[in-house]
């Protein structure tokens, strides 16, 4: 039997809170719901609003120092939402908003020491899971939105700084998933990191990890069974990957260097792309359009440039550059073409174009 008044919900469910110098509102409709709110210390402007509609839902909100705000809305059965904010003496403009519609959803948000940190998590459907931690803080923001069922999103921004970490600024994570059984993971640490990830479809997997200063990554997948990953460390590195189709795989790694940029785009089914850069001021830009194409680019050293395009099916491209200042441009149109380029030492240039089927290029420059 549904109870329409919040007072009746308090009788049937479990409701407990302790607070000092803060505002709290809880409304529960249904049976066996539970809410446990602790808002402690009079420092800051604590606030909480929890609404649960359905049966056997649970909310736990704990807020301490800082201008805290938590808004939780759950509709359906067996949902959980946990929000912990400042755990130590310093904090700032903390916010968490978590909304879940459906059954068996779980959202966890934790903002440890804080500075301006906000977390927003919205889930729609059944069996979704979302985390967003942001532990040691500065200006970190995280948005995770999942529309569908059985999706998983996790985010962790860990920047450890001094007591007033103004240098650890402008961190951001946006993850949006639409469909079912998708997974997105993001990790950032350091200064002005940025991370945007979007997946549309089913059974897609996406991950990005950034450690360093002012990194940026963007990934987009549309279709089913796609996998994409980016790993970046260093200063001023940028990575972008886009996949449209089914069963595609893209991997990007930029480490141990500064000012590297890489872009990979794939459209079709069953394509594979690798981009690996170690050094400074290297550039990779590649696109594959068709089915079952394979591309691998590896650059070590400084000031290399690799641009490639494959259009058709079952094409293979391998480009390896080491040393300083190499340039490679490769284009393949058709099916079953192969291009292999290796450049060592410094200052070499390669331009290769193939059109048709079953063609092959092998280019080696330097010792």
Q: What pLDDT score does 258 carry? A: 83
Question: Is-contact 86 63, C-beta < 8 A?
Answer: yes
User: What value does the mean pLDDT take over residues 11-18?
Assistant: 44
Q: Can you say how many angstroms the Cα of residue 55 is from the centroid of all Cα atoms in its chain?
A: 32
* 4, 53, 71, 242, 245 from 9: Cα distances, Å: 8, 10, 18, 48, 48
Instruction: Tell me, rounded to whole angstroms, the distance of Cα 41 from its chain centroid.
Output: 34
Residue 19 has pLDDT above 70, yes or no: no
Could you tell me if 271 and 245 are in contact, meaning their C-beta atoms sit under 8 angstroms apart? yes
Give the model's pLDDT for residue 190: 74
- Residue 32 is given by DSSP the state S
Burial class (CB in 10 A: 0-12, 13-18, 19+), 343: buried
pLDDT at 9: 34
Q: Where are the alpha helices (DSSP H) in the chain?
A: 6-12
DSSP state of 2: -
188: tokens are: 């950032």
Q: Is the pLDDT of residue 219 over 80?
A: yes
**When comparing pLDDT for 133 and 358, which is higher?**
358
The strand ranges marked E within 191-281 are: 194-202, 205-213, 216-224, 227-235, 238-244, 249-258, 261-267, 272-280
CB distance 30 to 11 below 8 Å: no
Q: How many CB atoms lie within 10 A of CB 360?
A: 11
Q: Are 35 and 12 in contact (CB under 8 A)?
A: no
Instruction: Quote the CA–CA distance of 246 and 201 in Å, as a whole number.
Output: 9
What letters, b where the CB count within 10 A reaches 16 and e where it falls short, cover 267-292? Answer: bbbbbbbbbbbbbbbbbbbbbbbbbb
Q: What pLDDT score was predicted for residue 281?
A: 93
- Rg over CA atoms, the chain: 25
pLDDT for residue 114: 66
| Per-residue tokens: 77 | 């059965």
As a whole number of angstroms, the distance between CA 40 and CA 43 comes to 9
Among residues 292, 199, 194, which one has the least CA distance to residue 236? 194
pLDDT above 70: percentage of residues in the chain:
87
Helix (H) or strand (E) holding 172: strand 171-178
Measured between alpha carbons, how far is 147 from 207 in angstroms, rounded to an integer?
18
Question: Model confidence at 42, in pLDDT bands (50, 70, 90)?
Answer: low
Question: How many other CB atoms are there within 10 angstroms of residue 216's CB atom?
Answer: 18
Residue with structure tokens 């950032």?
188
Residue 159: per-residue pLDDT: 67
- In this prediction, residue 222 has a pLDDT band, given cuts at 50, 70 and 90, of very high
- Name the burial class of residue 358, with classes exposed (0-12), middle (13-18) and buried (19+) by CB atoms within 10 angstroms of its CB: exposed
Q: What is the mean pLDDT of residues 119-126?
A: 93
- Per-residue tokens: 223: 């279709």
Q: What is the pLDDT of residues 68-92, one digit of tens each?
A: 888 888 888 998 888 888 765 556 7
Asked whether the beta carbons of 197 and 176 are under 8 A apart, the reply is: yes
User: Among 28-32, 199-203, 332-336, where is mean pLDDT lowest?
Assistant: 28-32
| pLDDT at residue 23, as a whole number | 78
Is the pLDDT at 294 greater than 90? The verdict is yes
Return the closest-CA partner of residue 180 out of 204, 158, 157, 164.
204
Tokens 């709110």 locate to 37
**Residue 12 backbone dihedrals phi, psi, to 5 degrees:** -75, -40
pLDDT above 90 as % of the chain: 55
């Amino acid at each position: 039997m549904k109870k329409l008044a919040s007072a009746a919900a308090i009788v049937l469910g479990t409701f407990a809170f302790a607070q000092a110098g803060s505002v709290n509102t809880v409304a529960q409709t249904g049976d066996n719901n539970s809410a446990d709110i602790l808002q402690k210390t009079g420092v800051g402007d604590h606030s909480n609003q929890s609404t649960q509609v359905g049966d056997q839902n649970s909310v736990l909100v704990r807020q301490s120092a800082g201008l805290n705000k938590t808004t939780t809305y759950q509709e359906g059965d067996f949902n959980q939402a946990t929000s912990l904010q400042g755990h130590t003496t310093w904090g700032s403009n903390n916010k968490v908003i978590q909304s879940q519609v459906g059954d068996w959803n779980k959202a966890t948000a934790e903002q440890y020491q804080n500075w301006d940190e906000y977390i927003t998590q919205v889930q729609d459907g059944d069996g979704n899971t979302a985390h967003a931690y942001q532990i040691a803080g500065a200006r970190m923001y995280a948005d995770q939105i999942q529309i569908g069922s059985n999706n998983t999103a996790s985010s962790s921004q860990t920047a450890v700084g001094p007591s007033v970490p103004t240098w650890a600024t402008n961190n951001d994570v946006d993850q949006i998933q639409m469909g079912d059984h998708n997974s997105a993971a993001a990790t950032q640490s350091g200064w002005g990191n940025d991370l945007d990830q979007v997946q549309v479809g089913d059974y897609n997997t996406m991950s990005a990890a950034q450690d360093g200063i002012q990194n940026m990554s963007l990934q987009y997948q549309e279709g089913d069974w796609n996998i994409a990953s980016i790993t970046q460390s260093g200063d001023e590195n940028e990575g972008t990957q886009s996949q449209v189709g089914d069963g595609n795989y893209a991997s990007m790694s930029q480490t141990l260097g500064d000012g590297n940029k890489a872009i990979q785009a794939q459209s079709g089914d069953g394509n594979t792309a690798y981009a690996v850069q170690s050094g400074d001021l290297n550039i990779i830009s590649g696109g594959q359009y068709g089915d079952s194409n394979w591309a691998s680019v590896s650059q070590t050293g400084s000031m290399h440039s690799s641009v490639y395009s494959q259009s058709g099916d079952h094409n293979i491209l391998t480009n390896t550059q080491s040393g300083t200042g190499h340039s490679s441009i490769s284009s393949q149109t058709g099916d079953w073409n192969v291009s292999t380029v290796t450049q060592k030492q410094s200052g070499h240039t390669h331009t290769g174009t193939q059109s048709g089927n079953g063609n092959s290029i092998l280019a080696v420059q330097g010792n």
